[in-house]
Structure 1
Amino acid sequence: MPSFAVQQIVYGALLSMKVRNINTLCPYIFKAFYDWLVDSDVTPHLLIKVQTKGVIVPSQFREQDVMVLSISPSAVRNFDIGPKYLSFNTRFSGVDEYIVIPYKAMCDLIAHEDQVAFPINMWMQQDLEDDEENQEDSYENEYMQEEDENCEDSADDSAIFRTVDDINDSEDSAEKNKNKDNSTDGASDDGSMFTIVDKD
């Protein structure tokens, strides 16, 4: 699962993309995983939530909560990775069926031979919200509120992380370094990229 910091970076990027009306990332994320499995001679299966709005599956499966579909090139026809959903034709019990799977209904893309599941829904989650009016504004307000709360939480910590350059630029730290230099001979200038300093 992506770390919180990575998620925040991705969410911020997605926000700027939405403001500029850049295409959704979902089909590109799905296609990347799908092509990778196919090119590796692995049979891709897809675990989906059947009860999600927009899902079209054969009638005998509509009461299920989840189901697994084979989406290998040999099992499907008219395979289309669209901007909002995946669609294709396949056969169930000899009957040709039309399948539609919105990205928000996808759970895992599975490498069938190894039974390894890739939770692609995690990577597409932020881009799967319904297209409602003022969605960008509500998301921006929520995102900024979370950032403010994170800043407040950080202010309560007994120590904070700062880059070495930031520390060297501060007057207080410069004074501390000066005092340290006066009391310690032969100290090395090398250090880690991040260090912990006491909160002012």
Structure 2
Amino acid sequence: MDAGMDIGQMTPRRPYLLRAFYDWLLENELTPHLVVDATLPGVKVPLEYVQDGQIILNVAPRAVGNLELGNDEVTFNARFGGRPHLVIVPIYAVQAIYARENGAGTMFEPEPAYLDMMDFPEEIDSDDSFIELESDVTVEHTEETPRPRGKPSLRVVK
């Protein structure tokens, strides 16, 4: 009887954990954010929102459209500064998922399957490479957007 597959031969666990934490955060009515290494190849995000090589993306359903948490990449449509963008984040570039409200979530450890992918030279695309999309979806900015003043309010949407 085969003792099983060596852990290095197994498929990466990051996409499965990412989807599980995303669902868990939503189930608890929290706002999921992704921490992304924007310097890695294949990452397509608006560069003006990248700080210290990272970007924090609000991936709550109200902030993005057509969100797909696939095994190889995370894709969605969002508005940054009023401009629509298609965001593409390879799974190996996702460093963490956490709740904006309380920090609940996880950081992802390096996985052997992703180490070779991260050895590529840094690829930075210009703004011209983004696909313009028609969308009413907005993205909440974290540090750069000033916090609204006054008492927070919620409304029921049916």
TM-score normalised to structure 1 length: 0.50
Structure 2: distance between partners of 1:116 and 1:25: 19
Instruction: Give CA deviations for 1:46-80 in whole Å, capped at 9, x if unaligned.
Output: 11111111110014235741121101111111111
Structure 1: give runs of 5+ residues left out of the alignment: 1-10, 18-22, 132-200
Q: Alpha carbon RMSD of aligned pairs, Å?
A: 2.5
Point out the structure with the larger helix share: 1
Q: Is the partner of 2:112 in helix, strand or coil?
A: helix
Greater RCO (CA < 8 Å, at least 6 residues apart): 2
Corresponding position: 1:128 with 2:139: no
Corresponding position: 1:74 with 2:62: yes
Structure 1: distance between partners of 2:67 and 2:30: 17
Pick from 24, 33, 36 the counterpart of residue 24 of structure 2.
36
Correspondence for 1:89 = 77
Structure 2: distance between partners of 1:113 and 1:126: 32
Q: Which protein has the larger Cα radius of gyration, Structure 1 or Structure 2?
A: 1
Structure 2: distance between partners of 1:33 and 1:14: 23
Structure 2: distance between partners of 1:14 and 1:42: 33
Q: Quick one: which amino acid aligns to residue 75 of structure 1? A: A
Q: Is the partner of 2:30 in helix, strand or coil?
A: coil
Instruction: Give CA deviations for 1:33-57 in whole Å, capped at 9, x if unaligned.
Output: 1111111111001111111111100
Structure 2: give runs of 5+ residues left out of the alignment: 118-158
TM-score normalised to structure 2 length: 0.63
Q: Is contact 2:15–2:69 with CA below 8 Å preserved after alignment?
A: yes
